[in-house]
Structure 1
Amino acid sequence: MFGFSHGGGGRHHHHGTRGRGEAGLDVERFFHWVERLNDGEHRRGGGGGRSRRMFDGGELRLVLLHLIAQEPRHGYELIKAVETLTGGAYAPSPGVVYPTLTLLDEMELIAEQASAGARKRFAATDAGTAHLSEQAATVAALVARLEAMGAQRARGDGEGAPVRRAMHNLRHAVGDRAMRADATPEILHEIAALIDEVAQKVERLK
C-alpha cells in the first residue's frame, strides 16, 4: 500500500502546486515512491530502510583502476564502461568519478596520457598494475557484482517490462491530473482512493 489517507487530521502546507493540504501530501508520497522505484533503489535495497551504496571505501577506485588498466580511458568512458557492465542498471556520477581519478593520479596508480581532445585520458602505471595484482580477488568480486546486476537487469527487462510501462503511464496520468488548476482536494482524495483500490487488488492476486 502507498500509505494514502482520506480524511481527518491537520493540514500540511507545502510550497508549489502539489501542496494542497493532506491530499496533496498523499500524492507527493506516491510520486516519491514511484521515483524511488524507477531509480532502482528497491532493486538493490531489499526490505525496508535505505539501500546499500553501490561501492564502499576504496571499491570504486579499484573498479576504475581495473578499467583503466584494460585500456586508457577518460572519465566519461569510465562511466559508460561501468554502465555497460551493469546493463544500464547503474552508472557512477561524474561527481564521484572525477575526484576518484584525481586521487588515483595523486597515488601514482594512474597517469595522464597525451590526448588530442580536451578530456584527460589516463593509463595505469606500473604501480597501478602491481596494486591490481595484489587486489585481484577483490577486483574479481567487484566485477562479478556489476555483471550480476546486469544479468538481473536483463531478466527484469523481459519479465517486468509490462509492469514498468503501466507504472510509467500511471505516474504521468496522476501527475498531469494533480497539477491541473482544477485539482481540488476532493479530486486528489479521489485519485488517492483509486490508487489504494488498485493496490488492494494487486495484493489479493494469487
Structure 2
Amino acid sequence: MRFGTEYGAWTGGPRGDGEQRGRPGHDGHGGHGRHGHRGGPGGRRRLFDGGELKLVMLKLIADAPRHGYDLIREIEGLTGGGYAPSPGVVYPTLSMLDEMGLIEEQQSEGAKKRFAASDEGRAHLAENSAIVDALFARLAAVGAESERTDGAPIRRAMGNLRQVLQHRLIREDVNEDTLHDVAALIDEVAQKIERLK
C-alpha cells in the first residue's frame, strides 16, 4: 500500500486521540488520560488532532518494538503524567497501523502483541519528520507544564500504579494468593507513607 507524502493524506477522518468528554479526567473511550491544555472558556482542546496519535505511536514503535501497554506508559512518561491515551484508542490505532503496512507484528512471549516499524513505516516517518518533531515537542511541553504543577510526580506515580494493576490483574493466571500479595504490597507502601515526616 502506498501513501502520499502529505500528512493529510492519511490523518483525516474520525477522532483517534481519545478526546476528553464527560467527567474530568476521563476520555471518551473509557480511559483516564489528562490532556493538559484548555482550549478557551468552558472547555479543553485535544492534545492530538486527527491522525497525529498515529504518527506519535509509529515513531515510538520505530525507536523500539513495543506493545500497546508500552506505548501508553511511554506517552504518559513523556508528558510527566499529563496525558495518557486510553487502551480503547491505542489498540485500534495499532490495528490500523498494521493494516496500513506501517508496522509489523513480531514474535513475543505471552499473549501481548509486540510491533516493529516496517520499511514503509520508517519511510513515512522520514517524509513527515518535521511534523513528528513538532508532535514530540508538544509532548515535551505538556511534560514541562506537568512538572511545574504541584503534585505532578505523585499523579504520575499513581497513574503508573493504576496501569500496572489493570494490566497485571486482567491476566487469566491471577489467583487469590496473587491478589493478597498485591494488596499487602499496597498496604505496606501506604503504611510507609503514613510514617513519613
TM over 0.5, shorter chain: yes
1:81 is aligned to 74
State the Cα RMSD in Å.
2.5
Structure 1 outlier segments of 4+, above 3 Å = 38-41
The residue number in structure 2 matching 1:51 is 44
Distance 1:46 1:63 in 2: 21
Cα–Cα, structure 1 residues 78 and 40, in superposed 2: closer, same or farther, change >3 Å? closer
Structure number with greater Rg is 1
Aligned ranges 1:2-13 → 2 under 5 Å? none
Matches of 1:69 and 1:112 in 2, distance apart?
A: 12
Output one character per residue of 1:85-129: Cα deviation in whole Å (capped at 9) or x when no partner.
000110000000000000000000000000111100000000000
Structure 1 length-normalised TM? 0.56
CA contact (8 A) 2:33 2:83 kept: no
Structure 2: give runs of 5+ residues left out of the alignment: 1-21, 26-31, 156-197
- The correspondence for 2:132, drawn from 139, 144, 147, is 139
CA distance in 2, matches of 1:75, 1:40: 18
Q: Any idea what SS the aligned residue of 1:111 has?
A: strand
| Structure with greater helix percent | 1
What amino acid is the match of 2:45? R
Unaligned runs of 5+ in 1: 1-31, 165-206
SS in 2 for 1:67: helix
Q: What SS is found at the alignment partner of 1:157?
A: coil
Matches within 5 A, 1:102-121: 102-121=95-114
Aligned equivalents of 2:61 and 2:33: distance in 1? 27
Trace 1:1-206 onto structure 2 (pairs within 5 A).
35=24, 43-157=36-150
Q: CA deviation at 1:46?
A: 4.6
TM value normalised by structure 2: 0.59
Identity, % of aligned positions: 61
Higher relative contact order (CA 8 A, sep 6+): 1
